[in-house]
Each structure stands twice: as C-alpha cells, then as structure tokens.
Amino acid sequence: MQRNLAAELDRLAPLLEELGALFTGSGHELALVGGPVRDAMLGRAHHDLDLTTSARPDETEELLGRWAGTTWDMGRAFGTIGCRKGPWQVEVTTYRSESYDATSRKPEVAFGDSLEGDLGRRDFSVNAMAVMLPGREVVDPFGGVIDLAQGLLRTPGRPEDSFGDDPLRMMRAARFAAQLGFAVRDDVQEAMTQMAERIDIVSAERVRDELVKLVDAPFPRRGLTLLVDTGLAERVLPELPALRLERDEHHRHKDVYEHSLTVLEQAIELEERLPGDGPDRVSRWAALLHDIGKPRTRRFADDGTVTFHHHDVVGAKMTRKRLKALRFANDDIEAISHLVELHLRFHGYGSGEWTDSAVRRYVRDAGDQLARLHVLTRADCTTRNQRKADRLRRTYDDLEARIDRLAAAEELDAMRPDLDGNQIMALLDIGPGRVVGEAYRYLLELRMEHGPLGEERATAELRAWWASQAEGGAGR
C-alpha cells in the first residue's frame, strides 16, 4: 500500500505539490483526504480529488481562483469550493465539525480547527485517512491503514453514534462492501440491524443513489446480502428479502433469493456481450428483480408440486412500482420492467419448434432490449445439472443464430410493414385516422407471419382487407 500510495502521489505531484505550496504559503494546511487516499493505497487512480484545509471558504475560493481561474461554490454551505484544472476536478472543503438533528440527516455545519477532528466525523476508518501537502505525511488517527490491509469496514467512533448522526452511512457500508469486497465488522453490522428503521428519514433519491452504486459494483452480492441480513432491505427494497421463501418440506423449488443473486452475478459475467463500457445498469437490475413476482404467485398443487404462474407479468408490475418509488429515470423503469416481463419467453422455444413468425415476434416484443434479453435469459440458467445447462445453452445459441439469419435477410431491427401510412392512405383514398392505424397493424401482422411481402403483394393484401372491412360495415 505504501508503494501504491507513493506511485499515485508521484503521478499527481505536478498538481498536488503546486496546490499544497499555494495553501501553505498563505499560512493554511492542505491535505488529500478520503476516497482518493484509500484508492491510492489500493492502486486505483483518481481524477476527482477531495482535499481538506484549515482555510475558510472565502480564502479557499480566492486561492483556487488564482490557481485555476474558474471556481464553483455550490457546496459553500458545507465549506466546499470546487474547480477544474486540465483533466482534474478538485474540491477543497474546510475542516468541519458537525451536529445532527435526530429527525434529519442534514448536519448543522460548523467549521473545525484540526485535521484529526475533521477525520473523526467521517463514515469509516478507511475513508478517514489523509496525506498532508506538499510534504506527503500520512495522517491516520483511526487505524484506517490496518483496516484497509485487513479488508474491514469500521467506523472511527461508535457505529451507533455515526449511524445516528447520518443513517445513510448504513447504506454506504453495504455499498463499500460491494465496491471493495470488504467485510463489515461485527459491531457495525449489529448497529445497522438495531438502527435499520433510521433509514426512513433519508430521501428516496439518496437511497436510490446508494443502491445503484451497490448494484453497479464488482461484488454486489456482498452488499445486497448485508442489506438483507441487517433488515435494511426490508425498508428500502423489500421485494428482495421477500424472495427468501419458506422452503416446502420436499424442496420442490429452488431458493429464489440465492437464485436471483446468482443470476445477477452471471449477468455481470455476460456484460461483454453488450455495447458500451462498464456496468450495464438495466441488465443488472433486471437480473436482480426478474423473479420478484414469485412470492405473490406461489401455489402448491394437490400432488405437492409448486407453481409460480404469471410471475413474469406480476413481477413486471412490482418492478415498475418499486423503481418509481425509488425515483429511477422513466427510461430505466420501462426497460427493466419490460425485461422482467419477457424473461420467461424463451422457455416456450422448446428445442427449436418456433416458427419464423414466432421468432419475429420475439424480436419485435424485445425491441431495443433484445441484446439485454439475450443476457438475462442466459444468466437465468442456474441449474447444477451440467447436461441440462449445456442443452439450454445450445438451444439459446440456436435461437440467436435464427434471429441473426432472419435479421440479415429481413432487417428485423427495423420491423415495419411493407407499406407506410402515406401509402396506405393513398391506396385506400382516405385521410389520417383510426382506420390507417388498423390497416398498418394488419400489414404488420402479415409481415410477422410471412416475412417481407414486397410492395405488390402488400398492396393486394391491403385491398383485400379493405374490401372485407367494407363488406362487414366497418369501412367508409
């Protein structure tokens, strides 16, 4: 960790040494603090740098303005002034001491006089380390280096005091467990369990942000398990612990909770199939929530078998409701809910009995989520029966190959009838209205059933449909 820190400080030297000299030359202390120090010790680079200082905000603003030219002060109420220097985003915060109202997580901010006092108010010891600038002295009054080496999350003081001041820190414990792969010390987990109801005073948006970062992390199972084991999940994502269904005496169904976490991990392994870099949020949340309809739909038949009929449809509605409560973006809500609703569709494929029209409908229904549906469907296989797993994989390989062949021949990604709305109106000599939509849907169904018709056949089919409408009294 010492080598990692030295290497990162060498990389940042042109920036930090200049900035450190500027502040110390004006009679102030300046230190790199928190996440950048922790991650530097772990060998992870940062471009967003957090620093703390003895200077008051007005003094910080003047010094940063002299150094970077442009500053921003949206965090002035909390003592924070920001600036950008080349590719670096820098935020400098005055030493703070804080007190909290028990009914709110918003602190009453008072500026402090010492670095150690500032570090003592931070969430975890691994985030309560600093490097003085420009001299590079490591300040670690709470043993963060040891905890970092042991992979342990511990609060600088009593966890009850820390979580009582800011309940969101309980969510941050789960998030850091997922991001860093760390364990949480027993007293921290016990305090989280005893104080879980305190999370109710935190806004849905702040809870959502922590959950998103947790699920986007490399080890989401660690964080999610901690939330469930401490009872926090009951208050922020109750559908997850609800998956821990009481097993029937004959174990006729798999553990839905463990299955869902495994599907999430397998979806992460398959993300390389998706465009873009980094975590795919929609795919991960769809994997986590795909079976949340099972508790509401579980039924025991007379012969002892267990069914979950329509849990895909029920689960989609539940997903939409929960994500709305967490203030997710509308586009994400629709995409995730859509995937949950579609996640069983493949299992009607059998061993390849679908007609081409059924394959076209599969593509049409998936829409722009087809690549993610491929990932979710593959991830949803958690059987330990290797022969069954291989058969499912081969079958889905076959379906994807058929989709690719049809796509190459028929442009499935732009599934439209052979005639557009303007052509329909011209051929039928009608204006815009309901009938145009009905004709369009009729031609689209023909396109699904038979593939591309060509303009000549589509025209004949449209005229025949129009004549039948007139004969039935539904035409002009």
Element (H, E) at 32: strand 30-33
In sequence order, which residues have a C-beta less than 8 Å from that of residue 311 and are 6 or more positions away? 291, 293, 294, 296, 297
Going through 114-203 in order, the beta strands assigned E by DSSP cover 130-133, 138-139, 152-153, 183-184
Q: Which amino acid is at 214?
A: L
Q: What are phi and psi of 50, to 5 degrees?
A: -105, 130
Supply the Cα-derived Rg of the chain in whole angstroms.
Answer: 29
Residues 83-104: b if buried by 16+ CB within 10 A, e if exposed: bebeebebbbbbbbbeeeeeee
Q: Which pLDDT tens digits describe the chain residue by residue (476 residues)?
A: 999 999 999 999 999 999 999 999 999 999 999 999 999 999 988 788 999 999 999 999 999 999 998 899 888 988 999 999 888 899 999 998 765 556 665 666 788 889 999 999 999 999 999 999 999 999 999 999 999 999 999 999 999 999 998 999 999 999 999 999 999 999 999 999 999 999 999 999 999 999 999 999 999 999 999 999 999 999 999 999 999 975 544 445 568 999 999 999 999 999 999 988 889 999 999 999 999 999 999 988 887 788 899 999 999 999 999 999 999 999 999 999 999 999 999 988 887 888 888 888 898 899 889 999 999 999 999 988 899 999 999 999 999 999 888 877 656 555 677 788 888 888 888 888 888 888 888 888 887 777 777 888 888 888 888 888 877 665 44
pTM for the structure as a whole: 0.84
Measured in whole angstroms, the distance separating CA 471 from the mean position of its chain's CA atoms is 54
Q: Report the alpha-carbon distance of residue 129 to residue 142 in Å, rounded.
A: 8
Helix (H, G, I), strand (E, B) or coil at 81: strand
Give the end-to-end CA distance of the chain in Å, rounded to a whole number: 80
CB-based contact 19:133 (threshold 8 Å): yes
Q: Which amino acid is at 153?
A: L
CB-based contact 185:243 (threshold 8 Å): no
Going through 163-261 in order, the beta strands assigned E by DSSP cover 183-184
Q: Which amino acid is at 276?
A: G
Question: Nearest to residue 316, comparing CAs of 259, 361, 248, 376?
Answer: 376
Q: Which two tokens stand for residue 451?
A: 């593939």
pLDDT of residue 248: 46
DSSP state of 247: P
Q: Which two tokens stand for residue 34?
A: 């928190």
Distances (CA, A) of 10 to 7, 119, 128, 134: 5, 24, 21, 12
Helix (H, G, I), strand (E, B) or coil at 349: coil
Element (H, E) at 425: helix 421-428
Exposure on the CB side of residue 139, measured as CA atoms within 13 A: 20
Q: Report the alpha-carbon distance of residue 169 to residue 155 in Å, rounded.
A: 10
CB-based contact 444:416 (threshold 8 Å): yes
pLDDT of residue 197: 97
pLDDT of residue 310: 93
Q: Which amino acid is at 131?
A: V
Angle at CA of residue 428, ends 422 and 433, nearest 5°: 60
408 burial level (CB within 10 Å; 0-12, 13-18, 19+): exposed
Q: Report the alpha-carbon distance of residue 33 to residue 51 in Å, rounded.
A: 5
Element (H, E) at 286: helix 281-289
Measured in whole angstroms, the distance separating CA 131 from the mean position of its chain's CA atoms is 32
Q: Report the alpha-carbon distance of residue 400 to residue 412 in Å, rounded.
A: 13
At which residue do the structure tokens 């007609």 appear? 355
Q: Which two tokens stand for residue 224?
A: 């999610």
Distances (CA, A) of 100 to 28, 86, 195, 209: 28, 37, 16, 22
Question: Nearest to residue 327, comparing CAs of 200, 175, 171, 206?
Answer: 206
Angle at CA of residue 455, ends 452 and 457, nearest 5°: 80
Q: Which two tokens stand for residue 91?
A: 């935020």
Strand partners for 50: 91
